[in-house]
Structure 1
Amino acid sequence: MHAAAAFSAPAPACAASEGYSAAFDGRRTFTLRPDALTAIKAALARDPAVGAAYRDLIARADKMLAAKPASVMDKRSIPVSGDRHDYVSLARYWWPNPANPKGAYVRRDGDTNPDIESNRFDRSALSRMTHEADTLALAYYYSGDRKYAEGTARVIRTWFLDPATRMNPNMNYAQAVPGVSNGRPEGVLDGASFIGVIDAAGLIGPSGALTPGETSALEDWFARYVDWMLKSANGKEEGKASNNHGLWYDAQVARFALFARKPGIARKIALAFPAARIARQVDASGALPAELTRTRSFHYSLYALAAAYTLADSAACLGIDLYHAEEKGRSLRQAADYVAAYRGRAADWPYREQGWPAETLDELLVRADDIWGPGAYPRSISGGLLLRHSLP
């Protein structure tokens, strides 16, 4: 029997392409759980940390309401396609070659080229869009003030729906390297930010700020994007990646397929996951060997696990339990135990790491405790911090 099918997950509150809508007053979310957000909302008045985080959230949301929404039309450069609606970004760790400044760029792993955030490219606009959708949607949920729902809808409409500003549903020119490639398979990773936007759209659902027609159009955008991921040369090549890129590819395709009401695609990925990913990317100790060769090895280990958890959450919506699946004696629980053992022990980590990601580890362990706990892992994040990080 296939490892993923060997476990019978309880009937999920997240129901396939409907997400948590039945239990969340029509809010079709996939990451955001009704119980978690309801608990945080109830704590606003009685927990000072949560209350302070809420006030900070509203202050940031108010500033965002006054800003022009980001779009792919903001960049100064023109894609090689000649169509500014195509997304363009620069590969993070690639730099001009000092020996040949006008020649092909060279790679410096772990050393970020600050030009990736310049307005020559779309990456900073994408980051701003996803952050604003997240913040404004949460502000609407916690405050009940419709203006934040309208702000969320405006952000989403500008990036995905408005013919004048919308992004074409592809990443053909993402993570380009001058002199090497106009766009690489690795660029598919840039789209992982869209996972949070899907939940932002769901969170504002009861407001009607996005009309049924607009919601349908958004689903269609993601259906076309999934098709690009599955059929394009860059998409197919990224799916073959054996590190965090492959995990995030699976996480994206499955979640976008659920949102686009194509659950069969998500199911296929989830059922293949134990053999295709767990057995091949987690070793017997629980480590992820492909991430350990990086200059930010602990960071990328956590980043890869976050992708695996995101995929497992999507699988749970389909009644498939990947959190307890084992393949060749390897599991996501082992991988969680492996990184958890280094909490508070940065000096003992035997691989290269430029900056210890303590907060990221704590956030991951909160998720792990929700999955395998309570009490399986230390919980050190306050409700206030959870409120600020409700979306991925």
Structure 2
Amino acid sequence: MNRLISSLAAIGVACTSLPAVAQSPVAPVCDGSAGYSAAFDGRRTFLWRPDWLTTIKSRLSDDASLQPAWTALKARADAALTREPYTVVTKTMTPASGDKHDYMSMGPYWWPDRSKPHGLPYVRRDGQFNPEKDTKAFDVSSLEGMSQDVQALALAHYFTGDPRYAAKAGEMIRVWFLDPATKMNPNFNHGQAVPGRVSGRAEGVIDAHRLVRVVEAAGLLLPTDALTREENEALQDWFGELVQWMATSTIGRQERAAENNHGLYYDTLITHFALFAGMDDAAQAVAERAKTRRLAAQIDPDGSLPKELTRTRSLHYTTWTLTAAFDLADEARCVGVDLWNYRSEDGRSLHGAADFVAAYAGREQEWLWPELNKAETDGMYEVLQRAAWAWDDPSYAAKAALYAERNADISLNLRVPPYAQ
């Protein structure tokens, strides 16, 4: 399969050379689809930086601030050791395709219409989660559980060296992606379906954001025997097929055309998966185009994200979108594209967007736009923490510190250490 040529043609961008991007002299270099492997003893990660993880590992035994996150992650990894692997074939409903191997989820904000027989068709209530989406009828809870477990197991193995964690992570990856009897087909044709309306929507592609954890975890485990060489190659091929589907399917193309967080997540995900699959030029093409198609188009000159400010959870969606944009900027750096410092002629930039959010640090209750839950601060914390590193700016770190205690147990703290000059 000529994945590179067909993917570039579908994306609609000509292949170009990969220019160098200036980086801090002390920062490790992410080198295309090789990722950070050269600086990380063969571990092929793209977002999990070796200097950050080695720093965290060295501090783990005596840094009290890391203990809540480590306790939570280790508890999850230990529980995963006894858990049966997740698979798409055990859901109780069958997708419209008739194939249980096809992933299926339900739109999170869709509810039965009580005025209609059997509640059909469902109606939308933005920002209000229907718990039906998390039942065994669908796959999203299994996808979330699998990706969180694989991430926890991979990190627990890295921090402790216990081979049980690596072996269990390999088993979970094998069952979800590789075993013919249980594997997921590499598509999201039936993601975020709406009962009585449609069997799958473009918005369902965003469910794949959970696979970012799997890609990084698989790369972290590469030097172990969690997966054989042939299995690692098969996993790369699976993600290559997913890239093909995202680039060529009707649903994939519709999601690519989205002008809000969905479009930005599409670029982030296809870039990440392309890097993992060895499709560097495809990743570079998407990242380069994101300057104008995403950053200049979705960020206003004042730093706001207007498409997200109209939502009932506008602060959540602003920080949710920025974390995806930050991932894309990190991925883009691997293929010589600088999104961190891109600035349009009229001043639209990631830096400006980070400043827009940072202005409300410590006073999120004063956020001027609709927000159903102003007590949710993990998104604000991540944006500020990562912004400090991105622009070597301790002022962001000081603002992130306002949220450190409230978010002490989240896994971000074991992947991105507090900023230090």
1:366 and 2:385 matched:
yes
**After superposition, where does 1:1-392 map in structure 2 within 5 Å?**
8-10=21-23, 13-102=29-118, 103-328=120-345, 329-356=347-374, 357-377=376-396, 378=398, 379-380=400-401, 381=404, 385=409, 389-390=413-414
How far does residue 196 in structure 1 lie from its aligned partner after superposition? Answer: 1.0
How far does residue 80 in structure 1 lie from its aligned partner after superposition? Answer: 1.2
Contact 1:6 1:325 (8 Å CA) reproduced: no
- Hey, what's the Cα distance between the residues in 2 that align with 1:384 and 1:277? 32
How far does residue 386 in structure 1 lie from its aligned partner after superposition? Answer: 6.5
Alpha-carbon spacing, 1:32–1:234, altered in 2? closer, same or farther (3 Å): same
Secondary structure (helix, strand or coil) at the match of 2:369 reads coil
Identity of aligned residues (%): 46
How far does residue 7 in structure 1 lie from its aligned partner after superposition? Answer: 8.9
Counterpart AA for 2:389: D
How far does residue 388 in structure 1 lie from its aligned partner after superposition? Answer: 5.3
- Hey, what's the Cα distance between the residues in 2 that align with 1:373 and 1:385? 25
Counterpart AA for 2:41: D
How far does residue 179 in structure 1 lie from its aligned partner after superposition? Answer: 1.5
Alpha-carbon spacing, 1:388–1:306, altered in 2? closer, same or farther (3 Å): closer
User: For residue 4 of structure 2, what is the aligned residue in structure 1?
Assistant: none
Q: Cα deviations across residues 38-61 of structure 1 (Å, max 9, x unaligned)?
A: 011110222123245434432321
Contact 2:73 2:152 (8 Å CA) reproduced: yes
Q: Cα deviations across residues 148-191 of structure 1 (Å, max 9, x unaligned)?
A: 00011011111100111100000000100111111000000001
Alpha-carbon spacing, 1:126–1:318, altered in 2? closer, same or farther (3 Å): same
Contact 2:19 2:337 (8 Å CA) reproduced: no
Report the count of equivalent residues.
Answer: 388
Counterpart AA for 1:370: W
Q: Cα deviations across residues 269-296 of structure 1 (Å, max 9, x unaligned)?
A: 1111111111111011100000011000
How far does residue 304 in structure 1 lie from its aligned partner after superposition? Answer: 0.7
Contact 1:17 1:263 (8 Å CA) reproduced: yes
Runs of 4+ in 1 over 2 A off after TM superposition: 5-12, 48-60, 381-392
- Hey, what's the Cα distance between the residues in 2 that align with 1:175 and 1:122? 10
Secondary structure (helix, strand or coil) at the match of 1:89 reads strand
| TM-score scaled by length of structure 2 | 0.89
Contact 1:57 1:388 (8 Å CA) reproduced: no
Contact 1:50 1:387 (8 Å CA) reproduced: no
Name stretches of at least 5 consecutive residues in structure 2 with no aligned partner: 1-17, 417-421
Alpha-carbon spacing, 1:388–1:375, altered in 2? closer, same or farther (3 Å): closer
Aligned-pair Cα RMSD in Å: 1.8
